[in-house]
Copies of this chain bind each other. A is one copy, B any other.
């Protein structure tokens, strides 16, 4: 008997109505008399019918209610990043208006199995970042005619982008430091490519990650020769490692460090503690992102607060717009400068500018 799940047809039959009427009862697209609704619902109940099969419905409607989110890294790595989490959060909101859910997709399938970006039933997709291999995913999606929005990445012609004024914002922070009298400044940057080799950045043309490049440029607009140390990833521990390197030589210490993320900045603060430096008396530190760094108190980072959640929400709305046939504009979000207690006047020290230049190499 229970060899097959009941379909809407069975329900209609049992209720003594036509299939279309039954359908309408579930979709609510058309008014139905209470009596009929009752009968249909009762029939459904008695048959154990729990509503239209989403697969059939989505074929019929041409919509699956699913928005893909494509990451270029291991999911574990992606969720290590507080900013991405906020973006996801906003995205959830943004697509909720569509009644859609988010499907996690990785850009570099282990090649063995199904590369989901080619075969998932997506209504639209959001790419987070857009370097290298991500392009392939992009091409595949476009080929399939699936609307795409890109967050923090340059996807080229005709694809809505959600971006940040990274360069201007970072420049603002740098200006702030300069206005406090700092001249010997060092930078801790985000990774510059997929290889993620830590170390002083020598060849800046080799920077493949947009965010890293743009923020670096912003700092360079004010401090053209500041040495920049690329971290392995955005984390406190890596910030600590970078900070140790930059603060290693007491005779040639920067008076301020510009970190390209709050996590890196938190690590630099640790390095300063280790080195016996007071913040901000001996060393000023700026971050970027404006996230809440767990365990950072009593410091309040001087940083650029980016509207991460809004970025996600905007992406969701852009997706919604495209699905409704409107076309979605790219958006450039602005960071807000927030002055905390990690920056202060440059200490009175002889400005060893010669050495700084050498340091900048």
- A residues in contact (CB < 8 Å) with B: 5, 48, 50-59, 62, 64-66, 68, 74-76, 79-80, 85-86, 88-89, 92, 96-97, 99-106, 109-110, 112-114, 116, 118-122, 140, 143-145, 235-237, 240, 263, 266-267, 270, 294-295, 297
Partner of A79, one of B48, B85, B101, B267: B85
From A79, which residue of chain B is reached at the shortest CB distance? B85
From A141, which residue of chain B is reached at the shortest CB distance? B50
Oligomeric state, in number of copies?
A: 2
Q: Which residues of B contact A270 (CB under 8 A)?
A: 295
For this complex, 18 residue pairs linking A to B, each with C-beta atoms less than 8 Å apart, are A48-B143, A51-B118, A55-B121, A57-B119, A58-B58, A58-B121, A64-B121, A65-B120, A66-B120, A96-B112, A100-B116, A102-B104, A103-B104, A121-B121, A237-B295, A240-B295, A263-B294, A295-B295
Q: Which residues of B contact A68 (CB under 8 A)?
A: 101
Most chain-B Cβ atoms within 10 A of its Cβ — which of A54, A109, A113, A143? A54
The verdict on A119 contacting B79 (CB below 8 Å), with A103-B101, A113-B97 known, is no
Query: Is A240 touching B110 in the complex (CB atoms < 8 A)?
Result: no
Query: Is B116 touching A89 in the complex (CB atoms < 8 A)?
Result: no
Cα-based distance from A100 to B5 in the complex (angstroms) = 23
Query: Is B65 touching A76 in the complex (CB atoms < 8 A)?
Result: no
Partner of A119, one of B54, B86, B112, B143: B54
Query: Is B66 touching A76 in the complex (CB atoms < 8 A)?
Result: no
Could you tell me the distance in whole angstroms from the C-beta of A190 to the nearest C-beta in chain B?
A: 15
Query: Is A54 touching B121 in the complex (CB atoms < 8 A)?
Result: yes
Query: Is B65 touching A116 in the complex (CB atoms < 8 A)?
Result: yes
Query: Is A103 touching B103 in the complex (CB atoms < 8 A)?
Result: yes
Q: Which residues of B contact A109 (CB under 8 A)?
A: 96
Sample of 4 more A-B contacts, CB < 8 Å, known A55-B58, A97-B113: A57-B119, A66-B103, A101-B120, A104-B104
From A5, which residue of chain B is reached at the shortest CB distance? B145
Query: Is B99 touching A102 in the complex (CB atoms < 8 A)?
Result: no
Partner of A80, one of B53, B65, B85, B236: B85
Could you tell me the distance in whole angstroms from the C-beta of A262 to the nearest C-beta in chain B?
A: 12
The verdict on A50 contacting B88 (CB below 8 Å), with A97-B113, A116-B65, A116-B99 known, is no
The verdict on A102 contacting B103 (CB below 8 Å), with A113-B96, A294-B263, A295-B240 known, is yes
Cα-based distance from A234 to B64 in the complex (angstroms) = 36
Could you tell me the distance in whole angstroms from the C-beta of A102 to the nearest C-beta in chain B?
A: 5
Q: Which residues of B contact A140 (CB under 8 A)?
A: 50
Cα-based distance from A56 to B62 in the complex (angstroms) = 9
Query: Is A75 touching B55 in the complex (CB atoms < 8 A)?
Result: no
Query: Is B294 touching A236 in the complex (CB atoms < 8 A)?
Result: yes
Q: Which residues of B contact A85 (CB under 8 A)?
A: 75-76, 79-80
Partner of A88, one of B48, B55, B79: B79
Query: Is B118 touching A89 in the complex (CB atoms < 8 A)?
Result: no
From A93, which residue of chain B is reached at the shortest CB distance? B110
Cα-based distance from A5 to B144 in the complex (angstroms) = 9
Cα-based distance from A241 to B66 in the complex (angstroms) = 41
Q: Which residues of B contact A101 (CB under 8 A)?
A: 68, 103-105, 116, 120
Could you tell me the distance in whole angstroms from the C-beta of A149 to the nearest C-beta in chain B?
A: 17
Cα-based distance from A143 to B45 in the complex (angstroms) = 11
